């Protein structure tokens, strides 16, 4: 995995690893305060970030992007719950983890956009108008409207070479 880590953009690598470290700190605090629910949630988030996000950064960026977005959303949700529960340290840590994952998501999004530029197909130049066809249409319009008689119309068609 060390060779894969070197290929990952540095800021993206730091964001994902940083989010795991932040959640690790929250998990250790949960362990120290005997908060088993916080311990399970923190451990699960670290595992999800690593397993679905970090490991897939190079091999499957679409999966990594979705995993980072979902884990970031879960962290943001827990930040709100921690705010309501008046747990400032968990609020700060969850918000930091969610922010780091959001940053990593946007870094992956930008890398994806740079890899597939949004280029429109080249525009084909319009075919030059066929003067003969345009004149023939004009003659037909004049004939239909009664300006040209049948004989005049036939003569003009012969002059254009339309038979």
φ, ψ of residue 111 in degrees (nearest 5) = -65, -40
Residue 116 DSSP class: S
CA distance 147 to 159: 18
Residue 51 DSSP class: I
Listed range (11-25, 78-92, 94-108, 120-134) with the worst mean pLDDT: 120-134
- The model's pTM: 0.61
* pLDDT at res. 128: 56
Q: Is 60 left (phi over 0), alpha (psi -120 to 50) or beta?
A: beta
Confidence of residue 125 (pLDDT cuts 50, 70, 90): low
Which residue has tokens 């002059």? 159
Angle between helices 131-145 and 150-160 (to 10 degrees): 180
Q: Over 80: is that where the pLDDT of 10 sits?
A: no
């Amino acid at each position: 995995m060390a060779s894969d880590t070197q290929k990952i953009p540095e800021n993206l690598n730091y964001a994902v690893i940083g989010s795991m470290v932040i959640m690790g700190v929250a998990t250790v605090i949960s362990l120290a305060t005997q908060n088993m629910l916080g311990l399970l949630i923190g451990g699960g988030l670290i595992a999800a970030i690593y397993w679905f996000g970090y490991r897939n950064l190079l091999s499957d960026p679409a999966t990594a992007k979705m995993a980072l977005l979902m884990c970031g959303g879960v962290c943001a949700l827990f930040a709100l719950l921690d705010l309501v529960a008046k747990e400032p340290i968990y609020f700060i840590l969850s918000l930091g983890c969610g922010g780091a994952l959001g940053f990593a998501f946007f870094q992956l999004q930008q890398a994806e956009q740079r890899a597939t530029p949004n280029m429109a197909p080249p525009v084909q130049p319009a075919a030059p108008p066929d003067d003969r066809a345009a004149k023939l249409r004009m003659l037909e319009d004049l004939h239909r409207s009664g300006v040209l008689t049948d004989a005049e119309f036939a003569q003009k068609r012969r002059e254009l070479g339309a038979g």
